[in-house]
Amino acid sequence: MSDIDPSEIKALKQRVKQLEVGYDTLRTTLHRREAELAAAKAALDKSAELNDWYEKRCQWYSGELAAAKAKCENLKFQAEGWTQEARTQKATVHEIYQLVSGATGEHGDWHGAEPVRAYIAAAKADAERMRERIRGIEDAAVRYEADPVDVYDKPSAWNKLGVLLAQALPAIDRTTEGEG
């Protein structure tokens, strides 16, 4: 052992010491890296769990969105139908207003049912007047049967009777159409 120079032994001892320190440093670094790796793995697992949760929420929201879109389409379809019904009703009301005003141009329906009520009241009054005229004609016919007069003696009475009947019958037909 004498062949080894003491300075070499000292250098080798220092080198061993350096290697031991290096080994300890590497071991510490390895433990730190393993801890970091474990933390990263835990974060990755947590991230995967969150990702799964987000995936499920996205699927749920996609279903909700599809249902909301379907409901929206259904409501839009219903609104279009109701709009068409409203247009039809408006056209019907306009036509009724034209009929009751004699097509003089009732411009809107802001008067409500009043023009129709007035028209019906006037038609009922016309019908009652016609009924009164008919009663008068019937009374005249009964009197005629009781006291016959030669037709050629009073042609104007028969003409008047024909005129009254011609006026009365269309008005009565017009007012009694909806009663039967």
- Residues 136-167 have pLDDT tens digits of 777 776 666 655 555 455 556 656 666 666 66
Number of separate domains in the chain: 2
Per-residue pLDDT tens over the stretch 45-89: 999 998 999 999 999 999 999 999 999 999 999 999 999 999 998
Instruction: Indicate whether 67 and 123 sit together in one domain.
Output: no
Say whether both 80 and 1 belong to one domain: yes
Cα separation, 84 vs 80, in Å, equals 6
Whether residue 80 sits in one domain with residue 14: yes
Domain end residue (candidates: 41, 64, 84): 84
Could you list the residue range(s) of the whole structural domain that residue 141 is in?
113-180
Is 168 in the same domain as 122? yes
* Lowest-confidence region among 3-7, 21-25, 36-40, 119-123: 3-7
Q: Is residue 167 part of a domain?
A: yes
Does the residue 77 lie in any domain?
Answer: yes
Whether 68 is in a domain gets the answer: yes
Residue 99 lies in a domain: no
121 located within any domain: yes
Q: CA angle, corner 88, sides to 178 and 109, nearest 5? A: 75
User: Are the beta carbons of 109 and 93 closer than 8 angstroms?
Assistant: yes
* Domain edge (last residue) among 64, 84, 104: 84
